[in-house]
Amino acid sequence: VLKMALPTKGTNELRNNRGGDTLTRARSCFEPLKRKIVRSSWILFFLALFAYRALHKPDNLGRRSAEGTSEPSPSALPEGAQAISIETSDPPRKFEIMIFSPKKDKHISGKLMQRPITYERDDTQFVHTILKPPQDNNLRAAAATTTSDVPPYWAVDLGANIGFHALHMASLGTAKIIALEPAPDTHALLSSSVQLNADFDKRLTVFNVGAADTAQETAGMHRHPGSPGMTTLAQVEGLPSNWQMEQVGGNKDGAQKQQQKQTKTERRENDASSSGPSSIRLVPVEQLLDEAQLPQAGKVHNVPNSPSRLRLLKVDVEGFEMLALRGLNLTKYPFEYVLMEYFPQLLRAASKSGAVPMEHPSEVLEYLMVEHGYMCVNEWTDAMTDDSIFKDSSKLIGNTKEQVRKFAQFYEGKHTNVYCKSNKTPLGTTP
């Protein structure tokens, strides 16, 4: 290497000109070697970077593991899927999540890629506030009835999507979670995320089913092309024509005319994101909760290694909220808190489909507030570190049909979330 680096001219000058600055001349002779070393270092750096990225691509998921957990076959995942890390603050938590290609899913995966800390911030803060470790004596006593390895709460996520909120719940470590996601490719992402995070499989159980009031199978779902999160069981006829919904699962013959107008690349991308079984399975949530032996109203809960508190219910099922709530049976399973999306357009589309007949979208809010006595607000901020807002009657939506309809009129043509607390004494505590 030295012979290659030291030019002949330089070595002759060093040998013949002994009266000059020997050190300076020596340094000038070694300059070519220095440049070669620097150039080689950059080459090695880029080779190492390329190797790292190749090993961490979704196409090579089988090469990674999270503390001994193996990842699923990449063939089960939608094209362009990738894993990213999410960090939340107050309390600081970190977890891995599989997302769709941000080009395909701009509204959820794209936002998580760009600014995960601000994604659905109100909902994230609500989940954190409600699933904090027990503080008051009643809650601590309820938690003490289980072993130290068993969290004190139950949480159920209906319409989990790719699982941001379900995974956030699992990262807090205070709840066992049951999550439902009917879309096959979205369910594959969420199941992969559970395997990416150590011990999450002990806290989070995911079912590839949709929530309904009776057990049934449906001939597929429809999805907004720019947002896989907006996947609904509603028929296309009931949805705005400019949404250009795609078929997910089921028989795709009805979509052939639209596909003929697409390019080969577009058809391939849509087929990859719309892959799935010939039908989507729907189940009554009550049936799943019975099988999981969750606490029930009016019964003593002595199930080993099972939390004693029905803490949080999240409902976001794209217009089929009423069907999901009826199938859950809130009288039998009275969750203390509910987080639910209110989207009048999708509720109307579901009603037009005939599956959820309603005269007005607000009926789903009336079901919670009027029939089951939940106190609800439609705002939640970082400043809310407890549930004291429910004590302020001026903030509540109301508990009469007239009050709920007035609220619903304001959100006609929009959508919002409602944050609710039961006015009943929680299971496992004393008044």
Q: What is the 3-state secondary structure (H, E, C) of 171-185?
A: HHCCEEEEEECCCHH
Residue-averaged pLDDT of the chain: 80
Q: What percent of the chain has pLDDT over 70?
A: 75
pLDDT, one tens digit per residue, over 328-345 is: 999 999 999 999 999 998
- Paired residues of 179 in beta bridges: 157, 206
**Where is pLDDT greater, at 139 or 350?**
350
Q: Which whole-number Å values give the CA distances from 352 to 48, 302, 349, 418, in the listed order?
A: 57, 44, 5, 24
- pLDDT tens by residue, 249-259: 665 443 333 33
pLDDT one-digit tens code per residue, 292-328: 999 999 888 888 888 989 999 999 999 999 999 999 9
Pick 313 or 385 by higher pLDDT.
Answer: 313
What is the pLDDT at residue 322? 95
d(CA 312, CA 334): 10
Structure tokens at 293: 């032996």
pLDDT tens for 17-75 read: 544 566 566 566 667 777 778 777 878 887 877 766 655 443 333 323 333 334 455 54
- What pLDDT is attached to residue 142? 44
Residue 9 reports pLDDT greater than 90? no
Is residue 279 over pLDDT 90?
A: no
Burial environment of residue 228 by CB neighbours within 10 A (0 to 12, 13 to 18, 19 or more): buried
Q: What's residue 34's pLDDT? A: 74
Q: Tell me how many degrees the CA angle 230-236-237 measures, rounded to the nearest 5.
A: 140
Q: Are 127 and 167 in contact (CB under 8 A)?
A: no
Structure confidence at residue 26 (pLDDT):
59
User: Are the beta carbons of 275 and 299 closer than 8 angstroms?
Assistant: no
The model's confidence at residue 353, banded by pLDDT at 50, 70 and 90, is confident
If you average pLDDT over residues 106-122, what whole number do you get?
89
Q: Is the pLDDT of residue 140 over 50?
A: no
- pLDDT tens-digit readout, 397-419: 999 999 999 999 999 888 899 99
Name the residue among 279, 312, 277, 307 with its Cα closest to residue 293: 307
pLDDT at 285 over 90: yes
pLDDT, tens digit (0-9, with 9 covering 90-100), for 23-34? 566 566 667 777
* β-bridge partners, 224: 227
Looking at residue 218, its pLDDT comes to 83
Minimum mean pLDDT among 74-78, 158-162, 321-325, 358-362: which range? Answer: 74-78
Question: pLDDT (tens digit, 9 = 90+) per residue, 211-220?
Answer: 999 999 887 7
pLDDT at residue 297, rounded to an integer: 92
